[in-house]
């Protein structure tokens, strides 16, 4: 099949590469010349497990092309997949400027019948609006069908998720389009769920909002656990055995971040208010998340009492492991709070340092190894659960830190493991380990 994908961001690029890998001829377009140049040379502008290898392979096989020439790439293609960004506006609603611009370009370029797919996350009703908009602006007498086909890719495992997805949602009023898209995805071996466009659009928002709700729920439970002396990890585990609940997305931590959950939850609140529905539950989920991102620093303050002038090491900056993405990462707010309180912050991330530099306060010193960050520190804050931190010898903290006190925002270490070392260990929703140390061994307060 000949497919054009518009937008070489996370979603567009991964989709294009994976579709080419199952044998389709895919052209990927973007307005960013530098990005297209890089991609033409087989270099991925994003860090995504397995992506660059597949990118190079399929370019070499002649099935994957990159261009900035929108007009040509829309001309003779069977399916156009729109995967441009829909960033949040000030009020939380989605900015659809790129979607409309792409729709206009398509209307002014297509000369054959075809299928236009919206993969970007868009408010409910957008597919119908874009269908009308394209129809009004067509310059040729062609027939096109519209499909809403939301993505459910997790950053870091987006290639895996594309090949082994739980579901493919196809929202369309055209049986022909549903058949064509099902055939396009056939080799992914995933059952397609076919519905109407508005329902498909809502499935995307509802899924992300529900996952965010699970996270805020367990974070609230973790806060209560800390007060009643229970262990949230075991609570989540015990809950998860119930198949109706499941184990996934019940890891308590410092709140969700990334390019999707914060944006999509705010957008859904907005979508609801547009139809005069006050989405109280989701507003609380967002509030809980905002509060959760601040709790770790409160723990640091109440433990160290004075953090002005203290050397605080931050391990992990990306919003989750295996990605260099720091969009809406809790690390940003946490670093800002620490700087505001006068701490000397030294931070390290295995791959996100470069991205972090642009958004973290200038006062944060970025270093290239965890040892460098930890060396001479008065406290360590773990903000991303990278394997590198989980697997490290805990004795390194004892040897390198001024006072070995860890505030683990991601529950990286088993409590029994920590107990074997002279480390004061604060985590999320679990008992504090070796708290006695603050008065007996290390702290002069
Ligand atoms: C998410 C959705 O999973 C995906 O289906 C959607 O299409 C895009 O948004 P992503 O943002 O890449 O994917 O990351 P995800 O792995 O879902 O994690 C999101 C955030 O939630 C991260 O900050 C993560 O640390 C946090 N999280 C996740 C928790 O705090 N606890 C959990 O149990 C799971």
Picking from 410, 404, 405, the residue whose alpha carbon sits closest to that of residue 428 is: 410
**Angle (deg, nearest 10), helices 280-304 and 197-228:** 30
pLDDT at position 107 is 96
Distance 118 CA to ligand 1 centre (A): 22
What confidence score (pLDDT) does residue 437 get? Answer: 55
pLDDT at position 435: 78
How many CB atoms sit inside 10 A of residue 108's CB?
15
User: How do the residues of the chain divide into helix, strand and coil, expressed in percent and rounded to 5?
Assistant: 45, 15, 40
Pocket test for ligand 1, best of 88, 211, 218 (most atoms within 8 A of CB): 211
Closest Cα to atom 27 of ligand 1: 256
To test the pocket of ligand 1, the residue of 220, 320, 331 to mutate (highest count of ligand atoms within 8 Å of its CB) is 320
Ligand 1 atom, smallest distance to 249 CA: 33
| Ligand 1 binding pocket, CB closer than 6 Å | 151-155, 208, 211, 215, 249-251, 253, 256-258, 260-261, 319-320
Q: Whose CA is nearest to atom 32 of ligand 1?
A: 249
Rounded CA separation 205/212 (Å): 11
Residue linked to tokens 């967002």: 286
Nearest CA to ligand 1 atom 1: 154
Backbone φ, ψ for residue 267 (5° rounding): -65, -40
Between the CA of 396 and the centroid of ligand 1 the distance, in Å, is 30
pLDDT of residue 436: 59
Given this model, what pLDDT does residue 445 score? 32
Digit-by-digit pLDDT tens for the chain (445 residues) are 999 999 999 999 999 999 999 999 999 999 999 999 999 999 999 888 899 999 999 999 999 999 999 888 898 899 999 999 999 898 888 899 999 999 999 999 999 999 999 999 999 999 999 999 999 999 999 999 999 999 999 988 999 999 999 999 999 999 999 999 999 999 998 989 999 999 999 999 999 999 999 999 999 999 999 999 999 999 999 999 999 999 999 999 999 999 899 999 999 999 999 999 999 999 999 999 999 999 999 999 999 988 999 999 999 999 999 888 999 999 999 999 999 999 999 999 999 999 999 999 999 999 999 999 999 999 999 999 999 999 999 999 999 999 899 999 999 999 999 999 999 999 999 999 987 554 444 443 3
Task: Give whole-number Cα distances, 140 to 107, 118, 134, 224, in Å.
Answer: 8, 21, 11, 63
How far is the centre of ligand 1, averaged over its atoms, from the C-alpha of 383 (Å)? 14
CA distance 101 to 296: 42
Task: Report the alpha-carbon distance of residue 17 to residue 58 in Å, rounded.
Answer: 7
pTM: 0.93
Ligand 1 center to 248 CA (angstroms): 10
How far is the C-alpha of 134 from the C-alpha of 74, rounded, in Å? 13
Helices (H), 156-196: 158-163, 175-184
* CA 261 / ligand 1 centre spacing (Å): 7
Burial class from Cβ neighbours inside 10 Å (0-12, 13-18, 19+) for residue 88 reads middle
Q: Is 260 a catalytic residue?
A: yes
- Structural domains of the chain sorted by starting position, each given as residue range(s) with its CATH number in brackets: 2-195 (3.40.50.720)
Nearest Cα residue to atom 22 of ligand 1: 256
Burial class (CB in 10 A: 0-12, 13-18, 19+), 98: middle
In angstroms, the first-to-last Cα distance of the chain is 70
User: What are the DSSP calls for 341-403, one per residue?
Assistant: TT-EEEEE-TTTHHHHHTTS-TTPEE-SSHHHHHTT-SEEEE-S--HHHHSS-THHHHHH-SS
CA distances from 48 to 51, 53, 249, 259 (A): 6, 10, 21, 15
Report d(CA 173, CA 192) in Å as an integer. Answer: 15
Token pair belonging to 234:
């075991």
Residue that has been written with the tokens 């070995």 in this structure: 404
What pLDDT was estimated at residue 46? Answer: 87
Tokens of 130: 């874009």
∠ CA 239-242-243, rounded to 5°: 130
């Amino acid at each position: 099949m000949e497919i054009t994908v518009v937008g070489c961001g996370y979603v567009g690029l991964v989709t294009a590469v994976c579709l080419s890998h199952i044998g389709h001829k895919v052209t990927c377009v973007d307005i960013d010349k530098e990005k297209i140049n890089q991609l033409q040379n087989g270099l991925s502008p994003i860090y995504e497990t397995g992506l660059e290898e597949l990118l190079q392979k399929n370019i070499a096989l002649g099935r994957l092309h990159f261009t900035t020439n929108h007009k040509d790439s829309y001309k003779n293609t069977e399916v156009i997949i729109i995967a441009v960004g829909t960033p949040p506006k000030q009020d939380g609603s989605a900015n659809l400027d790129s979607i409309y611009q792409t729709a206009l370009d398509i209307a002014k370029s297509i000369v054959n019948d075809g299928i236009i797919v919206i993969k970007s996350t868009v408010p409910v009703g957008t597919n119908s609006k874009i269908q009308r908009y394209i129809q009004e602006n067509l310059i040729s007498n062609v027939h096109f069908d519209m499909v809403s086909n939301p993505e459910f890719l997790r950053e870091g495992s987006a290639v895996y998720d594309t090949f082994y997805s739980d579901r493919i949602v196809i929202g369309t009023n055209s049986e022909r389009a549903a058949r064509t898209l099902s055939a396009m995805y056939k080799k992914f071996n995933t059952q397609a769920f076919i519905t109407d466009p508005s329902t498909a659009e809502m499935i995307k928002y509802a899924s992300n909002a529900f996952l965010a709700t699970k996270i805020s729920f367990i974070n609230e439970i973790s806060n209560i656990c800390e007060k009643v002396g229970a262990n949230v990890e075991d609570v989540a585990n015990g809950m998860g055995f119930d198949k109706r609940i499941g184990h996934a997305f019940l890891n308590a931590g410092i709140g969700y971040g990334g390019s999707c959950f914060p944006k999509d939850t705010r957008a859904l609140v907005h979508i609801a208010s547009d139809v005069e529905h006050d989405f109280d539950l989701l507003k609380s989920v967002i509030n809980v998340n905002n509060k959760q991102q601040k709790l770790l620093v409160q723990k640091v303050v109440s433990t160290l009492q004075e953090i002005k002038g203290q050397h605080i090491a931050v391990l992990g900056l990306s919003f989750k492991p295996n990605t260099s993405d720091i969009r809406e990462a809790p690390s940003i707010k946490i670093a800002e709070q620490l700087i505001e309180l006068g701490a000397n912050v030294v931070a390290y991330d295995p791959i996100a340092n470069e991205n972090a530099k642009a958004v973290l306060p200038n006062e944060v010193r970025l270093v290239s190894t965890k040892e460098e960050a930890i060396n001479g520190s008065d406290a360590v804050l773990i903000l991303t659960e990278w394997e590198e931190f989980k697997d490290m010898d805990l004795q390194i903290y004892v040897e390198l830190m001024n006072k070995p006190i860890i505030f683990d925002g991601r529950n990286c270490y088993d409590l029994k493991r920590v107990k074997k070392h002279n480390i004061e260990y604060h985590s999320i929703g679990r008992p504090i380990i070796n708290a006695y140390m603050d008065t007996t061994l290390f702290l002069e307060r």
